[in-house]
Amino acid sequence: MQILFVLLALGLAKSLSCNSYQCKTPSQNLQQNQCIYWDQATNGYFLQLCTEIEKPYCQLPDELTPSNETCSQIQPSAPLIYPGEKCTTSSDCAHSKQGCLQGVCRGTLENQSCTSSWDCDIGLYCSPTNVCTKLISDGGKGCRSEFDCENWLGCDIDENSHSTEGTCRPYYSILPHETVKSCSSEGINTLCSSNMCGIPELGENIVCTKPLSSSKKVPMPCDSDASCTSTTDDLFKTTFYSNCSCGYNPEGEAFCNLFPNDEPFEKFIKIMTKWYHSESVKQCHTMRRNAWNCITDWWNTNDATTLIYFQLKVERWPYIQKNDMCVSTIYEVEYNFWKQAYEKMVDDNDDDDNGILMYLAEGLGLFLYL
Ligand SMILES: *[C@@H]1O[C@H](CO)[C@@H](O)[C@H](O)[C@H]1NC(C)=O
Ligand SMILES: *[C@@H]1O[C@H](CO)[C@@H](O)[C@H](O)[C@H]1NC(C)=O
Ligand SMILES: *[C@@H]1O[C@H](CO)[C@@H](O)[C@H](O)[C@H]1NC(C)=O
């Protein structure tokens, strides 16, 4: 037992070594239109902003094969639009047997045959007998994954059993220390109100945890996953771990990812819960229940902006700490865009969406891949 514990501790203690990211110094001369200079001697990236209007975009190097980069034109990728999302012509629509009907892509109708849930129209999934079937409602049985359930429900199923005996239950609805049938290797189950789960020290069943926060003030610096500990749950008596990720800062510092009860993550769960309980979520295709393109098509601008901002804030957390200005501008284009939209919205502090709508319309061309 003790040996196992030592091995576990060693495994977790593998120390990270990170590259540094900073603005170029005044004495460094980069080539014309060069936005990134990789200096192998110091494991450092030196950056400068792109200034030519026709070439405003800096392609990011692959982290595994660091390299110099030059400024380029923006090449918007063609958007894929799925059933339930807004379109102008049928050629915009993917997986949409009926094409673009009254401005919305539409898929295969109820009781017609399908090969996957992607084929079916909104409100439907592809059943084990390959027929588009109404999504299973709250408490209903037979789901194999969350996508068989209505858009506000996940599937409570033992993933190892290969059964179809899952039960559809609302996201974030199962209270601390109540049982769930599965838990990801990272200790996550979005059916839990705390977002996290595990098997308690003296238990046999998987249960939801209490709401867990980082053990110290965030952002928590780290050098391995072993430093990324949560507060403890009295039933589990142990801490949980989050990932330690290299950031984009001058010192090559790494930071822990957030736990669900840390403030930005808590706000993200709150706004996701509001989305799942909205009328708008019903207009999305089952596979697109969390897709920003569907959310921005049907939800009010303020809530949609809040959701995207907090989702990015949680996902980008280790990377958005202690950035030089030019590093943030080049590496966090998407986060910065939504942060500004969110701040504009909070500043305006009224129900008039116009300011933020104009801001979004100007920027959305950059984010066609939503
Ligand atoms: C990378 O950029 C620096 C600074 O402009 C330059 O001196 C170096 O030759 C470049 N390296 C490669 C491999 O292009
Ligand atoms: C689909 O089939 C079911 C069961 O046969 C039936 O109750 C339902 O009305 C059908 N739906 C449509 C839209 O035809
Ligand atoms: C933590 O890192 C591992 C390995 O890089 C990855 O597979 C896993 O998804 C990460 N977990 C979270 C919660 O991001």
State the pLDDT confidence band at 6, using cuts at 50, 70 and 90.
very low
Radius of gyration of the chain (CA): 23
Buried/exposed 148-161: b ≥16 CB within 10 Å, e otherwise = bbbbbbbbbbeeee
Answer whether 111 contacts ligand 2 (Cβ < 6 A).
yes
State the pLDDT confidence band at 283, using cuts at 50, 70 and 90.
very high
Answer whether 33 contacts ligand 1 (Cβ < 6 A).
no
Residue 350 has pLDDT above 70, yes or no: no
The pLDDT value recorded for residue 168 is 98
Ligand 1 centroid–CA 68 distance in Å is 6
The pLDDT value recorded for residue 360 is 80
The pLDDT value recorded for residue 368 is 42
Distance CA 44, CA 21 (A): 6
Residue closest via CA to ligand 1's atom 12 equals 68
Q: Answer whether 61's CB lies under 8 Å from 34's CB.
A: no
DSSP state of 349: -
Answer whether 343 contacts ligand 3 (Cβ < 6 A).
no
Ligand 2 centroid–CA 110 distance in Å is 7
pTM for the whole structure: 0.92
The pLDDT value recorded for residue 25 is 94
The pLDDT value recorded for residue 201 is 87
The pLDDT value recorded for residue 257 is 98
The pLDDT value recorded for residue 351 is 60
The pLDDT value recorded for residue 128 is 95
- State the chain's mean pLDDT as an integer: 91
**In testing the pocket of ligand 3, which one of 63, 186, 244, 262 has its CB within 8 Å of the most ligand atoms?**
186
Ligand 1 centroid–CA 43 distance in Å is 14
Residue 365 has pLDDT above 70, yes or no: no
Residue closest via CA to ligand 1's atom 5 equals 30
Ligand 1 centroid–CA 31 distance in Å is 8
Ligand 1 centroid–CA 366 distance in Å is 29
Ligand 3 centroid–CA 184 distance in Å is 11
| H or E segment and range at residue 342 | helix 333-348
Give per-residue pLDDT as tens, 45-73.
999 999 998 998 999 999 889 999 999 99
Give per-residue pLDDT as tens, 236-252.
988 999 999 999 999 99
Residue 41 has pLDDT above 60, yes or no: yes
From the alpha carbon of 111, which atom of ligand 2 is closest?
A: 1
Residue 339 has pLDDT above 80, yes or no: yes
Answer whether 70 contacts ligand 1 (Cβ < 6 A).
no
Ligand 3 centroid–CA 171 distance in Å is 22
The pLDDT value recorded for residue 352 is 60
Residue 9 has pLDDT above 60, yes or no: no
Closest Cα partner for 291 from 363, 299, 183? 299
Buried/exposed 39-72: b ≥16 CB within 10 Å, e otherwise = eeeeebbbbbebeeeeeeebeeeeeeebeebebe
